[in-house]
């Protein structure tokens, strides 16, 4: 009868772990990249006054205010003189 020693069992468990990692890595990586690509806001945890601005600058692909898509309300702050 063939005995299973500790080295053979460790090799089997290691290969099983590698196989499981390869099977889960690609679909999970694709889901994470999809979420990063289409997220409107990045996850940023800051307490500074400008963390919202940093998040807005680094988050969306298209800045709708810059392209004039959002309705502009009359205010002197938006006046371009």
Provide CB contacts within 8 A for 41, sequence distance 6+: 55, 56, 59, 60
Q: What is the pLDDT of residue 79?
A: 59
Which tens digits make up the pLDDT trace of 35-80? 777 776 555 556 667 766 666 666 556 566 665 666 656 666 655 5
Domain ranges of the chain: 6-78
State the Cα–Cα distance between residues 76 and 80, nearest whole angstrom.
9
Q: What is the pLDDT of residue 35?
A: 79
Which tens digits make up the pLDDT trace of 10-34? 667 777 777 887 888 888 888 888 8
Q: What is the pLDDT of residue 62?
A: 59
Q: What is the pLDDT of residue 23?
A: 81
């Amino acid at each position: 009868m063939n005995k299973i020693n500790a080295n053979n069992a460790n090799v089997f468990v290691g290969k099983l772990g590698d196989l499981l990692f390869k099977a889960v890595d690609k679909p999970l990586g694709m889901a994470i990249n999809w979420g990063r690509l289409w997220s409107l806001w990045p996850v940023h945890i800051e307490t500074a006054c400008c963390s919202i601005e940093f998040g807005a600058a680094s988050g969306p692909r298209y800045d709708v205010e810059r392209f004039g898509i959002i309705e502009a309300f009359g205010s002197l702050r938006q006046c371009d003189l």
